[in-house]
Amino acid sequence: MDIRPSPISGTWYSANPDALAEQLDGFLNAAEPAVPSGELMGVIVPHAGHRYSGAVAAKAFRLMRGLVPEIVAVVSPMHTLAPDRLATSGHDAYQTPLGTIPVDTQAVRALNAALEKRSGPLLFPLRNDREHSLEIELPFLQRVLGEFRLLPVMILDQQESTAQMLGSALAEVLAGRKALLVGSSDLSHFNPDATARGLDSEMMRRIAAFDPLAVIHAEDENAAFACGRAAIAAVLWAAKELGANLVTPVAYANSGDVTGDRSSVVGYGAAAIWRHGAA
Q: What is the CATH number of the domain that holds 194?
A: 3.40.830.10
Which band of pLDDT confidence, cut at 50, 70 and 90, is reported for residue 120? Answer: confident
The share of the chain scoring above pLDDT 90, in percent, equals 92
Among 181, 199, 180, smallest CA distance to 268 is for: 199
pLDDT in tens, 9-39: 999 999 999 999 999 999 999 998 667 778 9
Q: How many CA atoms lie within 13 A of 252 on its CB side?
A: 19
Own/partner contacts of 114-119, CB < 8 Å, gap of 24 or more, are 114/168, 114/169, 114/170, 114/172, 114/173, 115/86, 115/165, 115/166, 115/169, 117/169, 118/165, 118/168, 118/169
Beta-carbon-side half-sphere exposure of residue 140 (alpha carbons within 13 Å) = 33
Mean of the pLDDT values across residues 207-236?
Answer: 97
Cα separation, 183 vs 206, whole angstroms: 15
> Residue 192 CB: number of other CB atoms within 10 A?
12
Total domains, the chain: 1
pLDDT at 279: 40
Give Cα 110 to chain centroid, integer Å: 20
pLDDT at 134 over 70: yes
Of 218, 226, 238, the C-alpha closest to 268 is: 226
Closest CA to 185 of 133, 140, 136: 133
- Which residues span the domain enclosing 20? 3-276
H helix intervals, 122-244: 132-135, 138-145, 160-174, 193-208, 212-217, 229-241
Residue 42 pairs with which residues in a beta bridge? 181, 273
* pTM, to two decimals: 0.96
Widest distance between CA atoms in the chain? 50
Q: Which tens digit of pLDDT belongs to each residue from 143-189? A: 999 999 999 999 999 999 999 999 999 999 999 999 999 999 999 99
